[in-house]
Structure 1
Amino acid sequence: MLEMSLQKKIEYVLLILAVAFCFENEVSAQSPFTRADTLRGSITPERGWWDLNYYHLSVEVFPETKSLKGTNLVRYKVTSPHQVMQIDLQEPLKITSVTQEGEFLEVRREGAAHFITLKKKQVPGTFEKILINYEGQPKEAVRPPWDGGITWTRDTNGKHFIASSNQGIGSSIWWPSKDHPADEVDSMLITVTVPKGLQNVSNGRARRGEVRENTVTMDWFVSNPINDYGVNINIGDYVHFGEKFEGEKGTLDMDYYVLRDNLEKAKIHFHDARRMMEAFEHWFGPYPFYEDGFKLVEVPYLGMEHQSSVTYGNDYQKGYKGTDLSGTGWGLKFDFIIIHEAGHEWFANNITYKDVADMWIHESFTNYSESLFLEYHYGKEAGQEYVRGTRSRIENKIPIIGIYGLNRRGSGDMYYKGGNLLNTLREVIADDEKWRSILRGMNEVFYHQTVTTEQVEAYIQEQSGLNLENFFDQYLRNVSIPTFEYYFSDQQTLNYRWSNCLVTFDMPVDVSIGEDTMRISPTTHWQQAKVKQSGTLTVDPDFYVGSFRLR
């Protein structure tokens, strides 16, 4: 982050303490923090000494009993000497055994955390592996994707239709993993066995299929780093179609898997996927996973951003279940799930948070991507109207950033407020090509990386050439929305300041008085500017601020 003065550091610490106190009281009243929160949300000593390299997850799915049985081969690099490893698997699933080089290892369970005592000396710099066997009935998702788990249902022809979704609850709800976002596996093989007559579609590219008397097994290989919550299984009576997209890195395979009865309407409706790819490569740079291709897979819930296996369940409607979230009409120009969830390929899958408290990095940028999609296809004002229209959904009750080390995300304002935050930042920078270069640059500099809010802030400040510390503090760590207060002391003198904000807030803003437009730089202290004449003052509506004339 850019260098701060001592006074600035003191103010910043006081701000964080105040926000943390308020946020903790808000959350803990309903759900007090526990040791389980720490084991899930922090880099424990048993997680910190090893770096994920490779998974081979192999699982057989039994739809009739809603159960799983499988193994996970975990290859890792030893980064410091330690003999106990933490692997996570949530009840009611059970780890039945763990072996290393053929020897059975002792496993101590504490909730979802399993502490494995390794017999072989762990030498820094070496690569080792363990094999985990597990089985049981995983949690069934009640309201996916928000509550998470496995969805077990049937299609209109009575065939099984099954899918995983687990962003909030974690990958360990259905498979044993290092369930923390800071460490992404470098590559992964996913082997899934299902009853004959069904097909599984997972992340990456199909490698091998094997048909036995009663089952079908398919391998899917992911050659790029992948966050654990993005790993998925999707099982149904699928049919496939696809297309080639000539993109910035060459020819991209775009594949679509839909239920048999939906094939013809999907061939028309999924045109939005190609439109998405055109728009987002323009704004964000090349699709981040050319090697693994892009898939859109129909599922029995709304949809989610699983890397290279984006899931879709919006019933072939425009908008969000047929609704325009902006209330402007522009939200019915595209299928929300296709655009939003695919936008996460850049922000969530390419650039991933290190801690769920920084979930705004995923959701704010992807929410904002919806307006950029509209701008690319329909012009800038279309995008601006859309993002402004979403402001009615902002609550401003809890900060966007959550609590670190406890698997606690911030408020849902990370979506609509986050999109408006970024749109406001674009107006502050006041250079659309520079803004686009910043978005593209992020996906290049942070390519296939896990990051923190501080890294994102520092990059944007560096590239914009602006000191934006107060801006980010105000919109990410505070709930009040700055109000532009003003009055005219005479016909040619405008008096103005920011209120309802941090005392250090100092964002420039564009205002119009009659036919004249000007940029001014208010602080929280009264300032003056000479104008041609007093009259009706309008703040540029693309800035997410309030305004109030005192007299």
Structure 2
Amino acid sequence: MKKPAILSILTLFAQLTLAQGWDWGGPMDPLQQKFKVRHYRLELEFFPETQSIQGSNTITFSADEKLDTLRLNLIDVYQVEKVLMGGKEVQFNRHDDLVDIFPGNCDCDQVQVFYGGKTPIAQDPPWEGGFTWEKDQFDNYWMGLSDQGDGSQVFMPALDHPASEPSAGADMILTVPKPYFVASNGRLIETKESEDKLTYHWATTYPINVYNINFTMGVFQEEKLDFQSVSGQIVPMHVWVLQENRAKAMALLEVLKVSAETQEKYFGPFPFPKDKIAVVETPYLGMEHQTINAYGNNFQFVPMGDTQYDWLLHHELGHEWFGNKISVADFADMWLHEGLTAYGDFLFYWEHGGAEAYFGKVKTDYKSIPHQKPVVSPVNSTEEVAYHGEIYSKGAMVIHSLRGILGDEVFFPMIKAFATDERFTYQNMVDTQDFTDFVQEYSGQDLTGFFDLYLYSTALPKLKVGKRGKSGYAISLQGIDFTMPVEIQTSDGLVRVNLGPKPAEVNSATPPIVDPNGWIMMER
């Protein structure tokens, strides 16, 4: 939808008020370090005509000591009406997108915050978060929420930090006017109907990152099947699309099924089998909301071997493994979410298009890397600092390079082992050191120089090839102090040579081609 060329002063003021570019992440507030959230119970009613919400969030928490102040995040756009602890109202203070709650004498482990107001409008979803309110072709309301860059503070009071996941999951009790449906996380426990409203109770018992709690409202066509997981479990699989796209729903379901099978082959069983595998059509491009991924790619399927591929659907589904199951507590390590997931996109090409398609994809994506920012950001980075294109493209290339260095016999079992290791999954959050230590321990190789170069710097080794004698060549990688195994195409075939700053001699009757398949990032 194009923005009007001229906006009235009042409209401009409203947009600036409702789209403030909230950031999240960074160091956790000291007051919030004193407690842990165990469960959220979000009860919201949606009012499409006024683009507003009203309801409460009940937070169950634990603390090692009695709290003088319970600090939650909630943007100042919303008005907090009252706060209950132990069934009684307690005092609170609103400031700087925070809710400071004062329990007084209440030795409680639960707080209920009642709030509401007009929703912040997303100006560039999903990158700038908030609500998107649109209408479909039949004049039905269609609402989506995107908040990865801004956190759950844009829709509910919470301990809004990447390091905080409710250990016992969340319940979402969501009320809308008839005839609307709301797709959300987990499984649909119950649907209640009144004269003019519908209430949907969704719930998950898995830990869930607060930005992954999500909902999409509309009049949808649903298609579903029972997905046979490699674990042996049957997992419900659903797609919800607008009525105008009902003829495309079955094709979308098949694309989702193939993508799920591909992800499972390389990364292990679907991480949330007690819930569901699902996508819902959204009025913005997409996002990885746990068990209810946002899909807005307009069914742009492309043939890949004997099947169909949707890059957006496959990528967001991949986050169920890397981002939702394996999560980082510090956005400095956000590349583990995006780089590993983007490499999973490469593997769809490998699985269904073969080697030619895979290496073609690698070559294309590699050309887009500017090498301007390190993949790993400074400790305690906010989303604004850590989120940039290279955590996708260069992050995926780092994983691709590991495959080239380690070989398929080591690489593929290693990646699956990492994705299924209980030390790194669900509420056991990870950082880059966890990953690099695991790779080196599993492979038995010292890759310190490799990781330091490609994750923490923007430098690239420079390839140098010199002629020596009639058929000899001296080949080196300048600018590094370690060696890497690199493929070289010679007149006698493909050989692997450890290259580093000291020249290695290679014989070939024809000029050698160094790294013909593009495993290693270098200046050529």
1:251-400 residue pairs with structure 2 within 5 A? 251-318=234-301, 333-400=308-375
Q: Point out the more displaced range, 352-361 or 535-544.
A: 535-544
- Asked whether 1:207 is paired with 2:189, we answer yes
CA distance in 2, matches of 1:419, 1:265: 31
Residue 245 of structure 1 is matched in structure 2 by 227
Residue 126 of structure 2 is matched in structure 1 by 145
Q: Point out the more displaced range, 101-110 or 266-275.
A: 101-110
Residue 114 of structure 2 is matched in structure 1 by 133
Residue 63 of structure 1 is matched in structure 2 by 48
Residue 88 of structure 2 is matched in structure 1 by 103
Letter of the structure 2 residue corresponding to residue 424 of structure 1: S
Q: Aligned pair in 2 of structure 1 residues 450, 442: CA closer, same or farther (>3 Å)?
A: same
Q: Is the contact between residue 85 and residue 106 of structure 2 (CA under 8 Å) also seen in structure 1?
A: no
Out of 57, 74, 80, which is 2:59 matched to? 74
Q: Aligned pair in 2 of structure 1 residues 469, 184: CA closer, same or farther (>3 Å)?
A: same
Q: Report deviation, 1:493.
A: 4.2
Q: Is the contact between residue 391 and residue 416 of structure 1 (CA under 8 Å) also seen in structure 2?
A: yes
Q: Is the contact between residue 223 and residue 253 of structure 2 (CA under 8 Å) also seen in structure 1?
A: no
Aligned residue for 1:45, secondary structure, equals coil
Q: Report deviation, 1:521.
A: 2.0
Q: Point out the more displaced range, 150-159 or 253-262.
A: 253-262
Out of 403, 408, 411, which is 1:435 matched to? 411
Q: Is the contact between residue 73 and residue 160 of structure 2 (CA under 8 Å) also seen in structure 1?
A: yes
Q: How many residue pairs end up in the alignment?
A: 495
Aligned residue for 2:163, secondary structure, equals coil
Letter of the structure 1 residue corresponding to residue 110 of structure 2: K
Aligned residue for 1:76, secondary structure, equals strand
Residue 471 of structure 1 is matched in structure 2 by 450
1:38-57 residue pairs with structure 2 within 5 A? 40-57=25-42
CA distance in 2, matches of 1:241, 1:233: 18
CA distance in 1, matches of 2:158, 2:470: 68
- Asked whether 1:409 is paired with 2:386, we answer yes
CA distance in 2, matches of 1:406, 1:547: 29
Aligned residue for 2:248, secondary structure, equals helix
Q: Which runs of 5+ in 1 are unaligned?
A: 1-35
Q: Report deviation, 1:547.
A: 5.1
Out of 457, 472, 488, which is 2:436 matched to? 457
CA distance in 2, matches of 1:220, 1:381: 44
Out of 478, 497, 507, which is 2:476 matched to? 497
Out of 462, 487, 495, which is 2:466 matched to? 487
Q: Aligned pair in 2 of structure 1 residues 304, 286: CA closer, same or farther (>3 Å)?
A: same
Q: Is the contact between residue 72 and residue 132 of structure 1 (CA under 8 Å) also seen in structure 2?
A: yes
CA distance in 2, matches of 1:289, 1:97: 35
CA distance in 2, matches of 1:537, 1:100: 70
Task: Please list the CA deviations of residues 335-369 of structure 1 after superposition, one character each: whole Å capped at 9, or x if unmatched.
Answer: 11111111111111111111112111111111111
Q: Is the contact between residue 514 and residue 537 of structure 1 (CA under 8 Å) also seen in structure 2?
A: no
Task: Please list the CA deviations of residues 60-79 of structure 1 after superposition, one character each: whole Å capped at 9, or x if unmatched.
Answer: 11111111111111011213
Letter of the structure 1 residue corresponding to residue 241 of structure 2: V
CA distance in 1, matches of 2:116, 2:254: 40
Residue 511 of structure 2 is matched in structure 1 by 535
CA distance in 2, matches of 1:128, 1:470: 48
Out of 483, 491, 506, which is 2:483 matched to? 506
Aligned residue for 1:518, secondary structure, equals strand
Out of 172, 176, 187, which is 1:190 matched to? 172
What TM-score do the two structures reach when normalised by structure 1? Answer: 0.85
Residue 169 of structure 1 is matched in structure 2 by 150
Q: Is the contact between residue 182 and residue 217 of structure 2 (CA under 8 Å) also seen in structure 1?
A: yes
Q: Aligned pair in 2 of structure 1 residues 292, 478: CA closer, same or farther (>3 Å)?
A: same
Q: Report deviation, 1:247.
A: 1.3
Q: Report deviation, 1:528.
A: 3.2
Q: Report deviation, 1:211.
A: 1.2
Q: Which runs of 5+ in 2 are unaligned?
A: 1-21
- The percentage of counterpart residues that share the same residue type is 28
Q: Is the contact between residue 48 and residue 141 of structure 2 (CA under 8 Å) also seen in structure 1?
A: yes
Residue 402 of structure 2 is matched in structure 1 by 425
Large movers: runs of 4+ above 4 Å: none
Q: Is the contact between residue 388 and residue 420 of structure 1 (CA under 8 Å) also seen in structure 2?
A: no
CA distance in 1, matches of 2:44, 2:331: 27
Letter of the structure 1 residue corresponding to residue 72 of structure 2: I
Q: Report deviation, 1:398.
A: 1.5
CA distance in 1, matches of 2:82, 2:299: 44
Task: Please list the CA deviations of residues 215-266 of structure 1 after superposition, one character each: whole Å capped at 9, or x if unmatched.
Answer: 1111000121111111111000112110111112211110111112212222
CA distance in 1, matches of 2:378, 2:98: 20
Aligned residue for 1:520, secondary structure, equals strand
CA RMSD in angstroms comes to: 2.1
Q: Report deviation, 1:81.
A: 5.2
Q: Aligned pair in 2 of structure 1 residues 118, 545: CA closer, same or farther (>3 Å)?
A: same
Residue 22 of structure 1 is matched in structure 2 by none
Out of 71, 96, 116, which is 1:86 matched to? 71
Residue 425 of structure 2 is matched in structure 1 by 447
Task: Please list the CA deviations of residues 27-60 of structure 1 after superposition, one character each: whole Å capped at 9, or x if unmatched.
Answer: xxxxxxxxx97x8521222111212111101111
Q: Report deviation, 1:514.
A: 2.1
CA distance in 1, matches of 2:308, 2:250: 17
Aligned residue for 2:420, secondary structure, equals helix
Q: Is the contact between residue 267 and residue 321 of structure 2 (CA under 8 Å) also seen in structure 1?
A: yes
Aligned residue for 2:404, secondary structure, equals helix
Q: Report deviation, 1:531.
A: 2.7
CA distance in 2, matches of 1:423, 1:216: 48
